[in-house]
Amino acid sequence: MTRKFSRNLIDFISKRILSGRQPQKQRSHFEALFKKNWGVTDLKEITDPTSVMGLNFALTTVERGERIKDILLQYTEIKGKRCLDVGCAYGGFLVAFKRAGAAEAIGIDVDPNLLEYCRALLKDHRLRKIYHQKDILKAEDICALGTFDIITCNDVIEHVRSPYTAMKHMSSLLRGNGLLFMEIPNRFCAAFIRADGHYNLFGITLLPNWMADTYLKRSFPRMSHSIHYRRLKFYTNTLKGLGLHRLNIDTVIGDREERLREIRNIFEECKRRAAVFEGDIPLPIKEKIRERVFRIADLFERNYGVYLKCRERDAEKAEALAEKLILTFGEGFWRIIARKRMVP
């Protein structure tokens, strides 16, 4: 499973660090922290794909923050607003929101190692310490934070033990009319079934947690599985119950026909792979992956058939169906934006 961390990728990452937007100083901060946290003396020694993904995730932190800030600007002003990033890790969202004129951009995260990256990044951007080591699940941790106009929670909710408590606490931290943004990975996305976004492993998103943990440990012995996937409905219903009105789930981008064909092709590829899957994992796990890949792919295929028939009779209905199919099987991440109702 492991492969050597490629020279090109290191060059790519180094160039990114050295590129205009990321000052030279940041290179040494990041390199020193990566080396310390991964226990290596040279970035080239980093060999497993999850670390490669981790590096890339860290190095794109400001870019990703900027992208989400741009999405939110379609719904609200950021200038002068009080913003909170839950699970802020490297801190890119804080930089992006401060640049957009936020009165305050505060980050919280449970992981002190990741907050070290945040400290380095903020220093490079000449921002004062605006993060705290806090757990969104603990009422006593968050009670002194005050209230916010905007809360972001990007790729975090799937890592917390109780997403309901996290959403309840975020809702309590939101001011009336305030916005909550959550980005959440979709376990049924065909591309993630082929290779998931956290570990790059075939079929892992379809497994129950204990099986996923065994699969992961066989591939990367030092890692443990800490992702809890839920259906989109779970999140949207929970938010509704908490008094948050959903404004949007990222609209389906691109040519619908093309996207559906692409999803279909990926499922075909997954089925071929599942049929001969030879990973170094216990047989029951392989069988579970095989069974689930075929089940999900067939579910898509049946609905795709309904869509094709519908397309001839009722274009509007077909379009809605296509959108639902893409959201369910094609989108890697759901981006939910919800507004808290004003309390009268």
Residue 252 makes contact with ligand SAM by CB under 6 A? no
CB within 8 A of 70, min separation 6: which ones? none
Q: Does 156 bind ligand SAM (CB under 6 A)?
A: yes
The nearest distance, CB 195 to ligand SAM, in angstroms, is: 17
- For 175, the enclosing helix (H) or strand (E) is strand 174-185
Q: Binding to ligand SAM by residue 116, rule CB under 6 A?
A: no
Name which position in 135, 213, 262, 319 contacts ligand SAM (CB under 6 A). Answer: 135
Contact 333/185 with Cβ under 8 angstroms?
yes
Please select the residue that binds ligand SAM; options are 78, 94, 108, 227, rule is CB under 6 A. Answer: 108
Interface stretch with ligand SAM, choices 12-20, 43-51, 74-82, 154-162 (CB under 6 A): 154-162
Residue number with CB closer to ligand SAM (87 or 330): 87
Residue 144: closest CA among 95, 92, 84: 84
* Alpha-carbon span 200 to 322, nearest angstrom: 27
C-beta of 226: minimal distance to ligand SAM in Å?
Answer: 8
Specify the stretch interacting with ligand SAM by CB under 6 A; choose among 135-143, 217-225, 234-242, 251-259: 135-143
Strand order in the sheet with 148-154: 131-133, 104-109, 82-86, 148-154, 174-185, 333-340, 244-249
CA end-to-end span of the chain? 57
- Bridge partner residues of 37 (DSSP): none
- Residue among 280, 314, 303, 182 at smallest CA distance from 238: 182
Residue 1 Cα distances to 129, 195, 200, 242, 279, angstroms: 39, 13, 10, 43, 9
Q: Which residues pair with 180 in a beta bridge?
A: 151, 338
CB of 305 to ligand SAM, least distance (A): 36
89 or 206: CB nearest ligand SAM: 89
What is the rounded distance in angstroms from the CA atom of residue 271 to the CA atom of residue 295? 10
Question: Is residue 173 a contact residue for ligand SAM (CB under 6 A)?
Answer: no
Of 160 and 270, nearer to ligand SAM (C-beta) is: 160
The candidate with the shortest Cα–Cα distance to 180, out of 246, 234, 231, is: 246
Interface with ligand SAM in residues 178-237 (CB under 6 A): none
Q: From CA 163, how far away is CA 48, in angstroms rounded?
A: 29
* Minimum CB–partner distance for residue 111 and ligand SAM (Å): 4
Site pattern 23..62 for ligand SAM (x: CB under 6 A): --------------------------------------x-
**Pick from 22, 154, 219, 238: which binds ligand SAM (CB under 6 A)?**
154
Residue showing the smallest CB distance to ligand SAM in the complex: 87
Q: Is 336 in the site for ligand SAM (CB under 6 A)?
A: no
CB of 118 to ligand SAM, least distance (A): 9
Binding-site size, ligand SAM (CB under 6 A): 20
Distance CA 215, CA 208 (A): 11
Site residues, ligand SAM (CB under 6 A): 61, 64, 86-90, 108-111, 114, 135-137, 154-156, 159-160
